[in-house]
Amino acid sequence: MDFACLWLGLLLPVAATLDFSYHHQEEMEEFLKKVAQNYSSITHLHSIGKSVKGRNLWVLVVGRSPKEHKIGIPEFKYVANMHGDETVGRELLLHLIEYLVTNDGKDLEITNLINSTRIHIMPSMNPDGFEAVKKPDCFYSNGRENGNFYDLNRNFPDAFEFNNVSRQPETVAIMEWLKTETFVLSANLHGGALVASYPFDNGVPATGTVHSRSLTPDDDVFQYLANTYASRNPNMKGDQCKNKMNFPNGITNGYSWYPLKGGMQDYNYIWAQCFEITLELSCCKYPREEKLSSFWNLNKASLIEYIKEVHLGVKGQVFDQSGNPIPNVIVEVQDRKHICPYKTNKFGEYYLLLLPGSYTLNVTVPGHNPHLTKVIIPKKSQDFSALKKDILFPFRGQMDSIPVSNPPCPTIPLYRNLPSHSAATKPSLFLFLGTLFHVLFKYSKM
């Protein structure tokens, strides 16, 4: 038996050992390439573009089908180091990669996660900024911005007001990447505070700004997601940063903290059909590297549990009467429509993150009357899978008039002309005090 275990160990890939220190671009690339080489059956390394100074924007994909999407397998992503001087998330994602690949086939939870999810990990969105930091500081360093001195978390199109800034290469790379995958859930990792912040970051009266908040139609889900992460991190739910605003239970609505134009999480939600939250993981933006191991220990459980939430709610395909999947079909919950409607992808797939409960799905094919169907999300969803519900659209006739491509909503302020009595302005369960302080605490959004 011992000999068999030894022989099995010899057959397993050799791990690319990662120490708890800061890894600059060359070291990070070397690590990622070793992982991709040693675990080629479950990983795929690719660059989605280049920074201002020509550095690759690396993404490592982990999953059973790392090179391509498989029907029914949701796409998840983590992005870190958007601000170059906020460094903890960059190292956490490298260690997460190592943890995932080395525990596949050994740890049942990780194995099931890799079996059921396609996980995209970008350790550094702003490698130029990281390399520009010469004197690390807890509060601000010259590496926050990219190589053209733009704040990348103010550089995306905004749904509430015009954001007339020059789109940077890193921003464009993210926007193009989002078009290539059906991302369902995401988080971007920052530093400078301890809080999980959820959309919206900007707003109008229709989303609740008159009440010093800005809520999405999926506010219940976002608060649940933020709590999922924060509740498993002892520091986020308790020992928060001294001399800074405290956040009850470690979560906040972005606008309630302070308004932000051109942020990445709002862009993901509105234009990419991807639920994204912002994770502020350290009081000090660029802490000493001897503290990195403790950050990993504090965040490991949260990082894993948050990925599992991509299986929340309901998923499926929409078919015509001949059994052909229909792309570009609007599939939304009747009472929580999005300003840019969520549509099926080229495989006719939809993914809706929903909490347990009863919902009515409104399925709309261009040129046909809406089709309503009820769905009940059980209190205890299936492990590593959302509830599966395929939809047969009951109509006759040819499908030639339905476009195969999914034309995007225009990247303009879609919310500008909404009336101020939107349902999003209603109070919700987990909103907390903090609005009075956001003027005093103009943190960089982290």
Strands (E), 302-417: 314-319, 330-333, 349-352, 357-364, 371-377, 387-388, 391-392
Report pLDDT digits (tens) over 264-321. 999 999 999 999 999 999 999 999 999 999 999 999 999 999 999 999 999 999 999 8
d(CA 152, CA 165): 11
**Average pLDDT of the chain?**
88
Q: State the greatest distance between any 2 C-alpha atoms of the chain, in Å, as a whole number.
A: 71
> What is the band of 6 on the pLDDT scale with cuts at 50, 70, 90?
very low
pLDDT of 2 reads: 45
pLDDT of 403 reads: 55
Quick check: is 280 catalytic?
yes
Lowest-confidence pick of 11-15, 224-228, 233-237, 317-321: 11-15
pLDDT of 311 reads: 96
Report pLDDT digits (tens) over 210-229. 999 999 999 999 999 999 99
Q: Which residues contact 440 (CB under 8 A, 6 or more apart)?
A: none
pLDDT of 17 reads: 81
129, 413, 120, 17 alpha-carbon torsion, rounded to 10°: 20
In terms of phi and psi (left: phi > 0; alpha: psi -120 to 50; beta: otherwise), the region of 14 is beta
pLDDT exceeds cutoff 60 at 131 = yes
How many CA atoms are closer than 13 Å to the CA of 103, on its beta-carbon side? 15
d(CA 430, CA 411): 30
Confidence (pTM): 0.90
Report pLDDT digits (tens) over 20-50. 999 999 999 999 999 999 999 999 999 999 9
| Catalytic residue from among 86, 91, 181, 280 | 280
% of the chain at pLDDT higher than 70: 86
pLDDT of 434 reads: 36
pLDDT of 265 reads: 97
Higher pLDDT, 244 or 175: 175
Average pLDDT over residues 343-354: 97
Report pLDDT digits (tens) over 368-382. 889 999 999 998 766
pLDDT of 435 reads: 33
